[in-house]
Amino acid sequence: MTGSRSLSSGLRALRPAAFGADPAGPRLERVRSSPNFADGSFRNPVASRTRPSASGLDLVRTYLRGDGRGRRAPVRPVPVHDGTAAALAAPPATGLRLTWMGHSSVLAEIDGSRVLFDPVWGERCSPFSFIGPKRLHPVPLPLAALGPVDVVVISHDHYDHLDMPTIKKLAGTDTVFAVPLGVGAHLERWGVSRERLRELDWQESTKVGGLTLTATPARHFCGRGLRNPQHALWASWTVVSERHRIYHSGDTGYFPGFKDIGAAHGPFDATMIQIGAYSEFWPDIHMTPQEGMRAHLDLQGGRPEGVMLPIHWGTFNLAPHAWAEPGEGTVTAARDAGARAALPRPGEPFEPAAAELPSEPWWRPVAKAPEGGWPEQASGGAPSEGTGDPETASAVS
C-alpha cells in the first residue's frame, strides 16, 4: 500500500503545472457533499451530452472542408481599440462600464469596484506553448497596465477561461478570486493563497467590498488534464452592487434555468452572454447567438431590457462556424428581439446606460464575406471581402 501511494504521489509530481490540481482533503469532501454532485461527478441542471456527437474522423473532415476553412479566421488584422488605458483612467459617468478584452475576458467597473471575468492574456488556450488554438488578435492592454482589480471571477477550468500564466501574474496582486467549487485547487497550485479564494457552489454568495457575487447554474463541464473526473464545478455569475446588476454566463448551453436566475437576481443592467464556438456536434454545452439572445431575455423576465454583450468569440478559433458568424448572428438576434446589444472592438469600453452603444460591424472588413455578401450588400451596400486560407484549430472549450 505504501508503494502504491508513493507511485501515485510521483505521478502527480510529473503532472504538467498547467493541468492544475485535483481537489483533495477538505475541498474534496466539500465537493462530494454538494447537492450538485452525484455518482462521482458534478451534474448539469438538465441532461446534457458533454462530448462531441461526431467521431474524431468526422470532426477532422468538417474542419478541413474547403468551403468553410477560409472563413474560420480573420483574413486581415483584427482591429483592437486604441486608447483603452486612457479611457479607463477616468471613472464611468454612470457607475457601470464594461470593457471586453476578447473571448470571455471582461473588465467590469461597477460602482467603484473592478471585477475581471475569465482573464486570458496568454497566446494560446492550451496547456502547451507550442500547440493549441492561438490568439487571433493582440490583447488590448498589458495585464500590468490594467490597474488594481478587486476580484477575479472564473467561470470554469477550461484553458480559454482559466489561463495559468495570467493567474500566476495576478497571484502577485491583492485581488480576491471568486471561483466555482473545486477550481480553487488549480489556483492554489499556481500560487494563490487559500485566504484569497472564495470557492462557491451554485446559489452560494460572497461579499467583496460593496459587491455581492453569486455562483449560478450553467450547462457545461470541466477538465484540464488527461483524466477529468468532473470534480470541479462550472458556473455563471451574478454581481450586484447597491445600484447595478450584471451577469456573466461563462460557457453554457441553453436551459430553462436562465428564467430562475433572472427572477432571483435580475433584471440586469447588462448581461455578458456566450454566443460563439457552437456546433451541431455539441449543442448542449454552447449557445448560438439566437439561443444567447433567448437567454438574455429570460434573464430579464422576458423583456428586452438592459444590454447584451456577446462574448466567447473573435479571439480564438474553436469551432467549425465562420469567424464572423457570431457577430452577424448577434446583430440579427438583437434586431429580431428589439433588444440592445453592444458590439465593441476588443478593448473598447462602453457604459450600458449610454444612449449610444458600439454597434459598427467592425469584423466585416477583416473577414471573408459569406456567399452573396454581407446583408447590406444584398441591397446595394459597399462590399468588404478578404481572401486567404488561414490556419484553423479544432479544440472545443
**Could you read off the pLDDT of 247-256 as tens digits, one per residue?**
999 999 999 9
H/E segment holding residue 116: strand 113-117
Please state, in angstroms and rounded to a whole number, the distance separating the CA atoms of residues 301 and 262: 6
Please state, in angstroms and rounded to a whole number, the distance separating the CA atoms of residues 228 and 231: 8
Give mean pLDDT, residues 162-183: 97
Please state, in angstroms and rounded to a whole number, the distance separating the CA atoms of residues 85 and 79: 16
What is the reported pLDDT for 397? 41
Residues 6+ apart with CB under 8 A from 6: none
Contact 360, 343 (CB under 8 A): yes
Dihedral of CA atoms 318, 319, 322, 323 in degrees, nearest 10, equals -20
Q: What are phi and psi of 27, to 5 degrees?
A: -65, -45
> pLDDT tens digits, residue range 202-249?
999 999 999 999 999 999 999 997 766 779 999 999 999 999 999 999
| Least confident span in 329-333, 341-345, 376-380 | 376-380
Instruction: Give me 150's grid cell.
Output: 478587486
